[in-house]
Amino acid sequence: MMWKFLAAAAFALAASTAGAKGASTMFEAPFHRGVNVLGYDPYWTHTTDRRFEWRHFTEIRTAGFDFVRVNLQAFSHMDERNQLDPVWLAKLDDVVREAQKAGLGLILDEHDFNKCSTDVAACRTQLTAFWQQVAPRYATAPRNVAFELLNEPHDALNGEPWNALLADVLAVVRKTNPTRIVVVGPTHWNSLNDLSDLKLPADPNLLLTYHYYEPFHFTHQGATWAGEEVKGLHGITWGTAADHAAMASDFDKVRAWASANQRPVLLGEFGAFDRSGTPVEQRAGYTAAARCEAERRGFGWAYWQFEGDFIAWDVKANAWVPQIRQALIDQPCGGKKGERG
């Protein structure tokens, strides 16, 4: 009880300090180089069919990453009273423990973004229930465990509905985690073009995220889930000086917003689809460029994704895809913004 009171008092102090003139909301987040994991793995439903094993956390750490962004599709593991299945929660505990044991930070990302963007009222109920149950569970976790309120709000959540929902869900988290890093991003699938519509509460521990898949007709050529216009595309290339300049200019927009709003930044997803015949050299060139543009501006990043599609790790070969690993870790960035990485 006393602990709860202290937590609430600490939050009230933090919130008022953030609102005070000159108080900084810029901090060094312990998330530099990361990769998205476990979003579409049978681990959550039929554990024996899992592709991701605990040893992969060690592979990720040893390669040079310092965190994972864990994509949680939790709504389908709730009962009719929106209580999370204790078995699912225990599996999440295992993920957190094993990643930490391997020396990795974690961003716990609620990834029911399509459900949420279809029915805002239902989302509000389930997202609130999710954070009411998950946030207290990790209230004493180290600072390199962060919460991401919701992946890629879009459609029905565009505009004010997202600003209203994120403030309310953040307040739920803050009841038990007054200073934990909370990751939050703009609408239209975390698009940098919507940054000006995003209203962040006066909270000093928010990490701004955006996702970058531009040009979409390159990164999503041949993808079946991303609209008619990209489904049939093949053979689109990327890498001209103009392509690099466009990327640099986009990332500059994010930097300008971050410096005006004094927020640290995480590029939470980027990459190019691997099953459309796009040569791996093309995908690696794009990946290295985005990673380096992020690093040059001091943004942390998380590649989409470890395995499944856009793969960095080849499960069958039991090895990294060498060109993607090179692009993400081994290749030095050097140079100035907009230059070829």
Of 11 and 304, CB closest to ligand BGC: 304
The contact mask relative to ligand BGC for 86-115 (x = CB under 6 A, - = no) is -------------------------x----
Q: Rounded distance, CA 234 to CA 236, Å?
A: 6
Of 39 and 185, CB closest to ligand BGC: 39
Q: Of these, 151, 163, 205, 209, which contacts ligand BGC (CB under 6 A)?
A: 151
Considering the complex, what minimum distance in angstroms separates the CB of residue 277 from ligand BGC?
17
Q: Is the peptide bond before 215 cis (omega within 30 degrees of 0)?
A: yes
Considering the complex, what minimum distance in angstroms separates the CB of residue 220 from ligand BGC?
6
The answer to whether residues 192 and 212 touch, using CB atoms and an 8 Å cutoff, is yes
The contact mask relative to ligand BGC for 226-255 (x = CB under 6 A, - = no) is x-----------------------------
Q: Rounded distance, CA 192 to CA 213, Å?
A: 11
Could you say which residues in the range 199-228 bind ligand BGC, by CB under 6 A? 226
Of 168 and 309, CB closest to ligand BGC: 309
Cα–chain-centroid distance for residue 331? 23
Q: What is the dihedral of CA 168, 170, 174, 176, to 10 degrees?
A: 90
Of 14 and 183, CB closest to ligand BGC: 183
Of 131 and 304, CB closest to ligand BGC: 304
Where does residue 54 rank: exposed (0-12), middle (13-18), buried (19+ CB within 10 A)?
middle
Among 302, 307, 289, which Cα is nearest to 66's? Answer: 302
Considering the complex, what minimum distance in angstroms separates the CB of residue 99 from ligand BGC?
19
Q: Rounded distance, CA 253 to CA 306, Å?
A: 28
Q: Of these, 112, 148, 243, 269, which contacts ligand BGC (CB under 6 A)?
A: 269
Of 25 and 305, CB closest to ligand BGC: 305
Of 25 and 73, CB closest to ligand BGC: 73
Residue 334: which residues within 8 A CB-CB, separation 6 or more? 341
Residue 71: which residues within 8 A CB-CB, separation 6 or more? 36, 37, 38, 39, 40, 109, 111, 151, 305
Considering the complex, what minimum distance in angstroms separates the CB of residue 273 from ligand BGC?
7
304 binds ligand BGC (CB under 6 A): yes
Q: Is the peptide bond before 305 cis (omega within 30 degrees of 0)?
A: yes
Q: Of these, 152, 194, 203, 243, which contacts ligand BGC (CB under 6 A)?
A: 152
Among 60, 58, 153, 67, which Cα is nearest to 108's? Answer: 67
Token couple for 288: 């290295």
Q: Total binding residues for ligand BGC by CB under 6 A?
A: 7
Token couple for 301: 């990043």
Considering the complex, what minimum distance in angstroms separates the CB of residue 304 from ligand BGC?
6
- For the chain, the maximum distance between any two Cα atoms, rounded to a whole number of angstroms, is 62
Considering the complex, what minimum distance in angstroms separates the CB of residue 72 from ligand BGC?
11
Considering the complex, what minimum distance in angstroms separates the CB of residue 287 from ligand BGC?
13
Token couple for 54: 């605990």
Considering the complex, what minimum distance in angstroms separates the CB of residue 109 from ligand BGC?
9
Binding site for ligand BGC (CB under 6 A): 39, 111, 151-152, 226, 269, 304
